[in-house]
Chain A
Amino acid sequence: QVQLQQSGPGLVKPSETLSLTCSVSGGSITGRTFYWDWIRQSPGKGLEWIGSISYTGTTYDTPSLRGRVTISVDSSKNQFSLKVTSVTAADTAVYYCARRTEIVVVVDATQGTYNWFDSWGQGTLVTVSS
């Protein structure tokens, strides 16, 4: 059973860089069927996907944060990280890391490739404040 453990500061000053790490245990971060994602949730709001990195190192991110987000993997430590630069109060949120599994599934006799978040970190509340 894979487990994701998040670490990083809960308080970041405006204009500085938010940095979080997600350590993966119980499975390899280099698995070919996995993506490693970051999702956030502003207080009292819904879920917002930030971005992900694949086993090949390819990264994907959301347009609203493009240019401010870096997602990286350290396979030697079996962990991946998120950096968000130039933070403002609008970046205050609970940040989650998650594993997204992508596999071929047969549904109603039709084969297709589907992916979903099957494991989540515990969440880290990051507050942007001076």
Chain B
Amino acid sequence: DIQMTQSPSSLAASVGDRVTITCRASQSISRSLNWVQQKPGKVPKVLIHAASLLQSGVPSRFSGSGSGTDFTLTITSLQPEDFATYYCQQSYSTPLTFGGGTKVEI
């Protein structure tokens, strides 16, 4: 199985801050990396697929980069609605696996 390791596991930030979350895969996954946002009690939703492609309807303050084993999710100018948990997820091979999550708190 491909292990996905996210860091940090949590962070505190303020509205307007730039936030960076990293994800590392245990083996190369090319660009087969998605970022998923989950707010408390809500259904997860994809923000970015193929490492850097913004899902339709997602604000442009979200961006993704990376390939191979190292990936980054960046939120420029954090908004109140962005406080949530973020997961990376590899889609390179089954079993599909998620990172442990990064909780972004105020």
Contact (Cβ within 8 A) A96 B91: no
- Residues of A near any B CB (own CB < 8 A): 37, 46-49, 52, 60-63, 96, 100, 105, 107, 112, 114-118, 120-123
Contact (Cβ within 8 A) B100 A46: yes
- Tally of contact residues, B, Cβ under 8 A: 28
Contact (Cβ within 8 A) B95 A63: yes
Contact (Cβ within 8 A) A120 B43: yes
Contact (Cβ within 8 A) B36 A117: yes
- Complex contacts, B80 vs chain A, CB 8 Å: none
CB interface residues, B 20-45, toward A, < 8 Å: 30-32, 34, 36, 38, 43-45
Besides A63-B1, A117-B36, A117-B46, 17 more A-B contacts (Cβ < 8 Å) are A46-B87, A46-B98, A46-B99, A47-B44, A49-B96, A61-B94, A62-B94, A105-B49, A107-B52, A107-B53, A114-B31, A115-B32, A116-B50, A116-B89, A117-B44, A117-B89, A120-B44
A to B CB contacts below 8 Å, 11 in the list: A46-B98, A47-B98, A62-B95, A63-B1, A105-B50, A114-B49, A116-B89, A118-B55, A120-B43, A120-B44, A121-B43
Contact (Cβ within 8 A) A115 B91: yes
Q: Which among B38, B55, B94, B99 has the highest number of chain A CB atoms within 10 Å?
A: B94
Bound-complex Cα distance A116 to B90 (A)? 9
- Residues of B near any A CB (own CB < 8 A): 1, 30-32, 34, 36, 38, 43-46, 49-53, 55, 87, 89, 91, 94-101
Number of A-B contacts (CB under 8 A): 70
- Complex contacts, A46 vs chain B, CB 8 Å: 87, 98-101
Contact (Cβ within 8 A) B91 A114: yes
Contact (Cβ within 8 A) B95 A49: yes
